[in-house]
Structure 1
Amino acid sequence: MNRKLIRSWALYDWANSAFATTIMAAVLPIFYQQVAASNLTGNQATSYWGYSQSIAVLIVAILAPILGAISDYSASKKKFLRFFAYMGMIASVMLAFVDSGEYLFASFLLIIGTIGFSGANIFYDAFLPEISKGTNMDEVSSRGFAFGYIGGGLLLALNLLMIQKYEWFGFSSAEMGTKLAFVSVGIWWFVFSIPLFKNVKEEKKAGQVKRNKSYARIGFSRVANTFREINQYKQLLVFLLAFWLYNDGISTIIKMATIYGSEIGIGSSHLIAALLITQFVGIPCTFFFGWLATKITAKRALTITLFVYIGIVILGYFMSSAAHFYALAICVGVVQGGAQSLSRSIFGRMVPDDRHAEFFGFYGISAKFSAIVGPALFGFVGSMTGSSKLGIFSLVIFFVVGLILLQKVDITKGIEDAKKKTVSNDKVDVHL
């Protein structure tokens, strides 16, 4: 195990988790409702936030498999990662220029930033099988998420101080503290991405075919080919369907919890503090689930997290006070990192060695398309009923059906299928 390489890779999770915590989950949702969308009703702001999230992930979902295929062919995962990361960093800084009533501008920057964050993660995830071979993949994947909890949590704690105790920093108001918190995300993301950009090297594939078409045509060709071949990886396909469903619930909880809490009257200090607790509860619990996977298998450990999520959704439906939100935040912290890291490592095991970025593009598209449905449904139900409680409760079905499909996945057979296909692909002369 190359510890320097793994540490450099994991530090990117530390870096970009600042966007996930401060912008996607904690600070921007409150700022969006109270400042950017101050000319809208509380329920309208929640709905528009959900629609903005859905638009962003729809764009990423369309791009993901194409970019993955191109990066595999051109051996340029790191170039694409850097491009999308810079996009997210710039959008984060630009949020400091959003003023009262400018919810369209805020939504636009949220969309650009989310595209950058999610697009970069496709290529970041695709490095996992290259830096961790076989048996330690659960541990390495869990370490990345744990680093993310630490980094995202530390900056969120600082951002909370910048907002609540703005005078300590010489700021004139909490709003100024909030805007500078957005700037801090871009800076943090950039600084802690440097080890990955410097130390993680792209694996060069032997005997790579010379390019005689544009990268766009190559990308579309490989995506079309992967769509044709995906049925040959039956266990991987069933896992993707399960992941599509339960990830819808997970991503919707992450993106909508804070603005939902704000809508029902929970104070911003309680909302941000509770999400800060989520981060630090998540650190040991993510490592715990990585360890647990070595004892009871990754599939069983993942199953436990999904049962807990069903309880979280039920609690969210009945939530009416800050105490309830704190309880929900603790429960999410216990299982969120474990569910995400184990999903990534299970998928990584069943991917052919020569198709990492391309198949992680499909993993990305599964995650992104699922993330479209939840926030959009949340917004639609809120618009139709005037309340978001039923939107929360509807997430139960995603976890229940996803859990059922997960039990049908034979991971051992999926690994064997991937190995057979890798050997077969090495013998085939691919014409692109």
Structure 2
Amino acid sequence: MSTPIQIRAWVMYDWANSAFATTIMAAVMPIYFIDVAGGTDGSWSFTQTAAAIVVAMLSPLLGAIADYSGKKVSFLRIFSLIGAFGSMGLAFVGPGDMWLAAILVVVGMVGFGTGNTFYDALLNDITTPEQRESVSARGYSMGYLGGGLLLAMNLGLILGWESIGLPSQTFASQISFVSVGIWWLVFSWPLFRNVKDAATVRMESLGATLRMGSARLRETFSRLKDYPELLKFMLAYWFFFDGINTVIVMAASYGTTIGIKSEDLIAALLITQFIGFPATLVFGKLADRIGSKQMLFGSLVLYLLIVVLGYFMTNATHFFVLAFLVGLVQGGSQATSRAIFSKIIPPGRTAEFNGFLSFTSRFFSFGGPLVFGLVKLVSDSSRSALLAVAFFFLAGLVLLTIVDLAKGEREAQRHSAG
């Protein structure tokens, strides 16, 4: 049985690694990548594509190995270190170092994305099914608060670099990259101290472990037909996750391209973070009361509206309004999706199925940034590129309507018992 301390420790990990999502993925690094390292919004989108492919290749096999070996926490620790040190390495990126920046961003995103496979799988280990909507929402809400607080401090550092005696704004940005790695390492410590690997950890050779992981993965593929509702939900998830991910990773570079000042872009992200903190908690409570599927559906409708409004955006005020709207649903939609998925996968294979979801969603997640980059390349219009992202939300909405979650839970329990 889990304890309240373990739940709080699990929640705090979202506080820890969300610093990477805000400073590196969404705010400071996208602008730094273009203004200092010499990249473009197109090359930034292709960097996201490369990272998504690497995460997709690693997650399912490592998830199967983690379930078999009982080492989910150990795997999470390894990838947290990779992500944190990749973040700190960005301090060495200077003017014109686009390729170094791209490589380190990919390293950091591999640590972040692959690590989340094991983090999400631990939700089943520390909660009952009845707790998952609320605990998952608590995790995302603390992520918004933690990521937002560090971003606010970094924003003050970057905008006030001269008044505090730093040599340049570039140097201030480099300090912010180091702060992400330190923040990640420090605040993930409660999880690694209080949540332990299973007592029945299997100790085998690397070759034997890889073979068993591969065998379990093949079995997962062969048994997917036993979970039709899970498959339908995953199909919907692939599309709307791709849309959400594209909005997250391309928002700052899109704003830069259409002339929004960097300080306004970062301020908008702060709005998203601090609106997201209470909004995600409320979203989780409403999901308990109204229903997870209904709340998720409503959030995707709002996302579709956000993308359309973004096409017409012309100034910072518009960007702030859209940031507010994103804050209302971003964390809630992700937290609710995580809770839904945790209930319709078979017990005992949580990391494996989360790894499989990570593989498939990351495999498809390069679609959004890739479509953005290709439409921008063909049309020479970032606005048209953003509007193309609406397709992913529309497809997700249509597919979500045919998912029967109650039936999916019964399928998971029945086939697990069998």
Shorter-chain TM-score range: over 0.9
Question: For each residue in 1:374-402, what CA deviation from the matched residue of structure 2 results, as whole angstroms up to 9, or x when unmatched?
Answer: 11111111122211111111111111111
Alignment of 1:284-303 (within 5 A): 284-303=278-297
Query: How has the CA–CA distance of structure 1 residues 386 and 294 changed in structure 2, closer, same or farther, with 3 Å as cutoff?
Result: same
Q: Name 1:408's counterpart in structure 2.
A: 402
> Hey, what's the Cα distance between the residues in 2 that align with 1:264 and 1:313?
15
What SS does the corresponding residue of 2:162 show, helix, strand or coil? Answer: helix
- Structure 2: tracts of 5 or more residues without a match: none
Alignment equivalent of 1:329, drawn from 323, 337, 348: 323
Q: Name 2:84's counterpart in structure 1.
A: 89
Q: Name 1:184's counterpart in structure 2.
A: 179
**Cα distance, 1:171 vs structure 2:** 1.0
Alignment equivalent of 1:386, drawn from 376, 380, 384: 380
> Hey, what's the Cα distance between the residues in 2 that align with 1:248 and 1:210?
37
> Hey, what's the Cα distance between the residues in 1 that align with 2:163 and 2:354?
44
> Hey, what's the Cα distance between the residues in 1 that align with 2:397 and 2:61?
29
**Cα distance, 1:323 vs structure 2:** 1.1
**Cα distance, 1:213 vs structure 2:** 5.3
> Hey, what's the Cα distance between the residues in 1 that align with 2:307 and 2:60?
31
Question: For each residue in 1:389-426, what CA deviation from the matched residue of structure 2 results, as whole angstroms up to 9, or x when unmatched?
Answer: 111111111111111111111111111111112211xx
> Hey, what's the Cα distance between the residues in 2 that align with 1:91 and 1:399?
31
Percent sequence identity over aligned pairs: 46
**Cα distance, 1:73 vs structure 2:** 0.5
Note if contact 2:74-2:197 (Cα within 8 Å) is conserved in structure 1: no
Which residue identity lines up with residue 197 of structure 2 in the other structure? E
**Cα distance, 1:210 vs structure 2:** 7.4
Which residue identity lines up with residue 297 of structure 1 in the other structure? G
> Hey, what's the Cα distance between the residues in 1 that align with 2:7 and 2:393?
32
1:237 aligns with 2:238: no
Alignment equivalent of 1:122, drawn from 106, 117, 125: 117
Aligned structure 1 segments of 4 or more residues deviating by more than 4 angstroms: 208-213
Query: How has the CA–CA distance of structure 1 residues 167 and 421 changed in structure 2, closer, same or farther, with 3 Å as cutoff?
Result: same
Note if contact 1:251-1:371 (Cα within 8 Å) is conserved in structure 2: yes
Query: How has the CA–CA distance of structure 1 residues 34 and 221 changed in structure 2, closer, same or farther, with 3 Å as cutoff?
Result: same
> Hey, what's the Cα distance between the residues in 2 that align with 1:263 and 1:397?
22
> Hey, what's the Cα distance between the residues in 2 that align with 1:331 and 1:379?
24
Note if contact 1:130-1:203 (Cα within 8 Å) is conserved in structure 2: no
**Cα distance, 1:173 vs structure 2:** 1.4
Q: Name 2:213's counterpart in structure 1.
A: 219
> Hey, what's the Cα distance between the residues in 2 that align with 1:211 and 1:185?
35
Question: For each residue in 1:73-105, what CA deviation from the matched residue of structure 2 results, as whole angstroms up to 9, or x when unmatched?
Answer: 111111111111101111111101101111011
Query: How has the CA–CA distance of structure 1 residues 259 and 138 changed in structure 2, closer, same or farther, with 3 Å as cutoff?
Result: same
Which residue identity lines up with residue 338 of structure 2 in the other structure? R
> Hey, what's the Cα distance between the residues in 1 that align with 2:312 and 2:217?
43
TM-score norm. by structure 1 comes to 0.94
Alignment of 1:6-45 (within 5 A): 6-37=7-38, 45=40
Q: Name 1:198's counterpart in structure 2.
A: 193
Note if contact 1:243-1:366 (Cα within 8 Å) is conserved in structure 2: no
Alignment equivalent of 2:356, drawn from 355, 362, 369: 362
Query: How has the CA–CA distance of structure 1 residues 369 and 212 changed in structure 2, closer, same or farther, with 3 Å as cutoff?
Result: closer
Question: For each residue in 1:128-147, what CA deviation from the matched residue of structure 2 results, as whole angstroms up to 9, or x when unmatched?
Answer: 01111111110000000001
Deviates more, 1:382-391 or 1:62-71: 382-391
Query: How has the CA–CA distance of structure 1 residues 212 and 330 changed in structure 2, closer, same or farther, with 3 Å as cutoff?
Result: closer
Q: Name 1:53's counterpart in structure 2.
A: 48
- Structure 1: tracts of 5 or more residues without a match: 425-432
Deviates more, 1:399-408 or 1:10-19: 399-408
TM-score norm. by structure 2 comes to 0.97
> Hey, what's the Cα distance between the residues in 2 that align with 1:104 and 1:81?
27
**Cα distance, 1:169 vs structure 2:** 3.5
Q: Name 2:259's counterpart in structure 1.
A: 265
Which residue identity lines up with residue 136 of structure 2 in the other structure? S
Which residue identity lines up with residue 128 of structure 1 in the other structure? L
Deviates more, 1:385-394 or 1:109-118: 385-394
Note if contact 2:372-2:389 (Cα within 8 Å) is conserved in structure 1: no
Which residue identity lines up with residue 248 of structure 1 in the other structure? D
Alignment RMSD (CA, Å): 1.5
Q: Name 1:131's counterpart in structure 2.
A: 126
**Cα distance, 1:204 vs structure 2:** 4.1
Q: Name 1:4's counterpart in structure 2.
A: 5
> Hey, what's the Cα distance between the residues in 1 that align with 2:207 and 2:103?
34
> Hey, what's the Cα distance between the residues in 1 that align with 2:28 and 2:46?
18
